[in-house]
Amino acid sequence: MFRVVYINDNKTSIEFVIDSLITYFSYTTDTALVITEDIHNTGSAVVAVLPFEIAEQKGVEITLAARANGFPLQIRLEPEVG
């Protein structure tokens, strides 16, 4: 299992982050807002824990969507420990 981690930056819009969490991870708007605030306040946040192939695919899809919208959003995959 791998953690999908969003890294905060000063360019990617809050709206894009919220929309991506809803679109790619099926979060409710309220949950996506809480996660987005966590990313903003702490610099990064785990947004999902998934099998590697799914985590990698979502990371690629979100990165492509971010670039298509002119955002530098970075996503990191980390092995789940324990």
Q: What is the DSSP letter of 11?
A: S
Structure tokens at 54: 């799914």
Tens of pLDDT, residue by residue over 20-78, are 999 999 999 999 999 999 999 999 999 999 999 999 999 999 999 999 999 999 999 99
| pLDDT band per the 50, 70, 90 thresholds, residue 82 | confident
Q: Domain holding 32: CATH number?
A: 3.30.1390.10
Q: What is the DSSP letter of 80?
A: P
Domains held by the chain: number: 1
| pLDDT band per the 50, 70, 90 thresholds, residue 81 | confident
- Write out the residue range of the structural domain in which residue 25 sits: 2-79
Q: How far is CA 43 from CA 9, 21, 51, 54, 68, in A?
A: 8, 16, 24, 24, 23
Read off the pTM. Answer: 0.94
User: How far is residue 17's CA from residue 20's CA, in Å, rounded to a whole number?
Assistant: 5
